[in-house]
């Protein structure tokens, strides 16, 4: 299995992040793996693998993230929410998860990494209030369910950002008629030998 450094991976993604942001990303990786020993936040245990499979995988969608507030649903260990928040300090990121131990970790990560642009919610997403310009998910649910549970949270003109492995054609076929697929973007993640896609969706007008 090929391993890759964060700096070379960012270079391959065409992302130019300052040194302090790169150090914060690695500090987040270390924190995730440390807490993982007790809290089982990720199946990965290898620090090198976590760079490609977690940090770079999350940051691969950065060029497609807009400026409006972002809600990351089913954040788990903070992916992609925390890497995006570190890389784009002007982005207001909210993360929600139903699992208490995961939100406990997320709160601690926000404190230790001094992330002023991140808020954490321990809640069921379907019961969340608020409106967000962008709603992301990485390993939360099939796209139709993701849309159904979060539709009330999408601000007018907002977009869903669904991170997927192989191109989810069956899930896309099952979408309601008024949900429009704006783009299906194949992603190449340095050091990750697997298909990755970003599906960008929006709600059509009746």
Each residue's pLDDT tens digit, 88-126: 999 999 999 999 999 999 999 999 999 999 999 999 999
What is the reported pLDDT for 115?
A: 98
CA atoms within 13 A on the CB side of 13: 29
Closest CA to 43 of 161, 139, 187, 110: 139
Share of the chain above pLDDT 70, in %: 98
Q: What pLDDT is attached to residue 42? A: 87
pLDDT of residue 2: 53
DSSP 3-state assignment of 13? helix
pLDDT tier for residue 23 given thresholds of 50, 70 and 90: very high
Q: Which residues, in sequence order, are CB contacts of 139 under 8 Å at separation 6+?
A: 74, 76, 163
Give the pLDDT band (50/70/90) at residue 139. Answer: confident
Report the 10 Å Cβ neighbour count for 196: 18
**CATH code assigned to 6-203:** 3.40.50.150
- Which pLDDT score, from 0 to 100, does residue 205 have? 67
For residue range 55-91, list pLDDT tens digits in order. 999 999 999 999 999 999 999 999 999 999 999 999 9
The pLDDT mean for the chain works out to 95
Report the predicted TM-score, pTM, of the whole model to 2 decimal places. 0.96
Identify which of 24, 23, 74, 32 has the alpha carbon closest to the alpha carbon of residue 53.
32
Q: How many CB atoms lie within 10 A of CB 188?
A: 10
Domain chopping of the chain, boundaries: 6-203
Distance of CA 199 to the CA centre of its chain: 13
For range 127-131, the mean pLDDT: 95
């Amino acid at each position: 299995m090929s391993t890759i450094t964060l700096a070379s991976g960012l270079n391959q993604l065409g992302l130019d992040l300052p040194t302090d942001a790169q150090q914060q990303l690695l500090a987040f990786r270390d924190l995730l793996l440390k807490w993982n020993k007790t809290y089982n936040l990720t199946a990965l245990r290898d620090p090198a693998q976590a760079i490609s499979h977690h940090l770079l995988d999350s940051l691969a969608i950065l060029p497609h993230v807009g400026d409006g507030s972002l809600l990351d649903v089913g954040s788990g260990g903070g992916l992609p929410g925390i890497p995006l928040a570190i890389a784009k300090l002007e982005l207001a990121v909210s993360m929600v998860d139903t699992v208490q131990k995961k939100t406990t970790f997320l709160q601690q990560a926000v404190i230790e990494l001094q992330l002023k642009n991140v808020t954490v919610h321990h809640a069921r997403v379907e019961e969340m209030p608020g409106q967000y310009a962008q709603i992301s998910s990485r390993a939360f649910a099939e796209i139709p369910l993701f849309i159904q549970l979060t539709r009330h949270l999408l601000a007018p003109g907002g977009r869903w950002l669904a991170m997927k492995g192989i191109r989810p054609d069956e899930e896309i076929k099952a979408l309601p008629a008024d949900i429009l697929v704006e783009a299906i973007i194949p992603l190449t993640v340095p050091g990750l030998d697997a298909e990755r896609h970003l599906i960008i969706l929006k709600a059509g007008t009746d």
